[in-house]
């Protein structure tokens, strides 16, 4: 399971659910710091899971997380009624990321589950990757700073 939620700065009660799926990380083409991630366990390890409260802070180093989310598959409960509704959603996407914020990353695999927070995060890239009627796929690339297991709010 992979669930990504974006919280814009100053709006902790309002959030944007970007992905909520049980599909594999391989299918979603998840990349962490430009390296392809092959399993939930590998992603959780890269993000610093474990019993200790680990965090990655590399001073000026930035962490990137990218994936492809297909709206009809990764959000089955909110499928589009028609291609026109999907187009309107696609047109509205860039306006949703006008500021920085926090990206909440929740993962759950066979043996590993963890929640991490990518702080000082902004959208680096947002692309309508392909179009299948009511099932558009979006490529998201987030660029942020510190990754921490502690909720910032």
pTM for the full predicted model? 0.79
pLDDT over 60 (residue 6)? yes
Which two tokens mark 114? 């963890």
pLDDT over 60 (residue 9)? yes
Q: Where are the domains of the chain?
A: 2-148
pLDDT on residue 152: 92
Say if residues 152 and 145 touch (Cβ distance below 8 Å). no
pLDDT on residue 57: 46
Q: 34 vs 23, 27, 64, 152, CA distance in Å? A: 20, 16, 7, 25
Please write the tens of the pLDDT for every residue from 12-67: 777 888 888 888 888 888 898 877 765 555 666 665 544 333 444 445 678 999 99
Q: 143 vs 31, 94, 102, 118, 140, CA distance in Å? A: 12, 15, 10, 9, 10
């Amino acid at each position: 399971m992979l669930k990504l939620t974006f919280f814009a700065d100053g709006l902790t009660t309002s959030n944007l659910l970007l992905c909520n799926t049980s599909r594999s990380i391989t299918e979603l083409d998840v990349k962490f710091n430009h390296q392809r991630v092959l399993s939930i366990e590998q992603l959780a390890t890269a993000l610093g899971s474990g019993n200790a409260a680990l965090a990655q802070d590399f001073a000026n180093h930035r962490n990137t997380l990218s994936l492809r989310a297909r709206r009809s598959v990764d959000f089955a409960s909110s499928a589009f009624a028609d291609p026109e509704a999907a187009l309107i959603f696609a047109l509205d996407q860039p306006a949703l990321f006008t500021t920085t914020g926090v990206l909440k990353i929740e993962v759950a695999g066979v043996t590993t589950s963890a929640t991490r927070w990518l702080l000082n995060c902004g959208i680096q890239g947002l692309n309508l990757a392909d179009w299948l009627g009511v099932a558009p796929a979006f490529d998201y690339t987030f660029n942020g700073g510190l990754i921490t297991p502690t909720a910032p709010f």
